[in-house]
């Protein structure tokens, strides 16, 4: 069982930056693939980024590629999402998710993940 707690959301102006954190419980953190998803009002949950056991094995959604960076610190059982050049369309609730192992072909699918955090609100507005 893994528990995930996100933090770092808030209100930011367009073009600004924000860093989200997701702290996980459990001793086997390093065996999990961690993902970030987001959901805007009236829209489906969208894949943002994922990082597998190896920190060099990283995937991004097309909408955030080049602006967001995912990373993990296994010693702290934490995954981060550094967001830069934020746009109003980045607004939504951001969720952290975990899946033990994870195959590459499935990690962009939100229903593939076993554990979820409660979400943190990100609002990009002037």
Mean pLDDT of the chain: 95
Which pLDDT band, with edges at 50, 70 and 90, does 28 fall under? confident
The pLDDT of residue 101 is: 78
Which pLDDT band, with edges at 50, 70 and 90, does 4 fall under? very high
Report which of residues 24 and 28 the model is more confident about.
Answer: 24
The pLDDT of residue 88 is: 97
Report which of residues 29 and 35 the model is more confident about.
Answer: 35
The pLDDT of residue 82 is: 98
The pLDDT of residue 27 is: 77
The pLDDT of residue 96 is: 98
The pLDDT of residue 1 is: 82
Which pLDDT band, with edges at 50, 70 and 90, does 54 fall under? confident
Average pLDDT over residues 83-95: 98
**How far is residue 86's CA from residue 95's CA, in Å, rounded to a whole number?**
17
């Amino acid at each position: 069982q893994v528990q995930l707690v996100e933090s770092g959301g808030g209100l930011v102006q367009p073009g600004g930056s924000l860093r989200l954190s997701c702290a996980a419980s459990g001793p086997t953190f390093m065996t999990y693939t961690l993902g970030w998803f987001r959901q805007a009002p009236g829209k489906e949950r969208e894949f943002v980024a994922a990082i597998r056991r190896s920190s060099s094995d990283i995937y991004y959604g097309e909408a955030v590629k080049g602006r967001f960076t995912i990373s993990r610190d296994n010693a702290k059982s934490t995954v981060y999402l550094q967001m830069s050049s934020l746009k109003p369309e980045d607004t939504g609730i951001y969720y952290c998710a975990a899946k033990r192992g994870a195959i590459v072909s499935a990690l962009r699918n939100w229903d593939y993940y076993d554990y979820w955090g409660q979400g943190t609100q990100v609002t990009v507005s002037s």
